Amino acid sequence: MNTDTAEAALYPALEPFAQQRLPVGGGHAIHVEESGHPGGFPALFLHGGPGSQTRPLHRRFFDPGFYRIVLADQRGCGRSVPPGRTEENTTAHLVADIEAVRERLGLGRILLFGGSWGAALALAYASTHPDRVAAMVLRGVFLGTRAEVDWYLGGLGRLVPQAWQALARGEGGSDLLTRYHALVSQGDAAAAQRWVAYEDAVMALDSGQPALIGGQDENGALARARIQLHYLAHECFLAPGELDSKLARLCRIPVLIVQGARDLVCPPRTALELAERLAHAELRLVEGGGHSAARPEMAQALRRATDELRGRLPALAAP
């Protein structure tokens, strides 16, 4: 990700005022950091993937004079330990981890900010704990459905033919996900590198930059691919239609959906359908915006969303 593209659109770089590794069970300890205003309104950033991680850029979507900015790497991801661990690592565990972070930090109602897989996780948490969520900002909506995964491995592959050919190795077919899940679960580092290279090529489609080849070390690629394949091979640990069936629980939560009109990874249709089903959702379709939050069009729209919520959040947080 080229963070320089968002420099003018986001708040200045800042450092955390607190960091910790929070034990959450199953041998996992997740990295949690806080920045911004220690007494500010809590905003929790949920990263994408599955298998990605938080980055310094993610602090900068929020006004540091108003928000207490909380970033957390999900189980097995980033600076959480152990890296790539899939045991006791499901969506239900991640939802429980968000609640553990909220309780450990003594937070009341929170603003959830989630992009791509982070949007699905935000919806999963909010539908489980609607009384804990004051508002949500969702980007590049992904709901973890089989159709979305098929698009990721099928339709998008036609747009990055070289990366697809390197991934499929002349085979392809509907069992590609199953095959890579097995290979990476067994520690096949070369397979992990091919999987990560394909993801990087897909994510570069709307970034305006070429995909980074070999940009991650072997262990990092293996951990990242292991987590992502673990989730995708298990339908993101969501029953068919599970998120849709619980949307009524979010009827009182304001939701700003910031969706790139040119998003190829998570096309706008899903965001449009979600906005129609949420009572207090506002869809902001960003012309020229794609999937990457680091592009100036999306970065500006996302900062605007968190800025606009500043005047509403204290009242929304009241019981």
* Residues that are catalytic: 116, 263, 291
Angle ∠(18,21,25) on CA atoms, nearest 5: 145
Cα radius of gyration rounded to whole Å, the chain = 18
Alpha-carbon torsion 90, 112, 253, 97, what sign? positive
Element (H, E) at 283: strand 281-286
In sequence order, the 6+-apart residues with CB closer than 8 A to the CB of 291 are 116, 140, 203, 205, 206, 260, 263, 264, 265, 266
Name residue, tokens 């940009």.
215
* Beta pairing class for 28-36 and 67-72: antiparallel
CA-CA distance, 145 to 232, in Å (whole number)?
A: 9
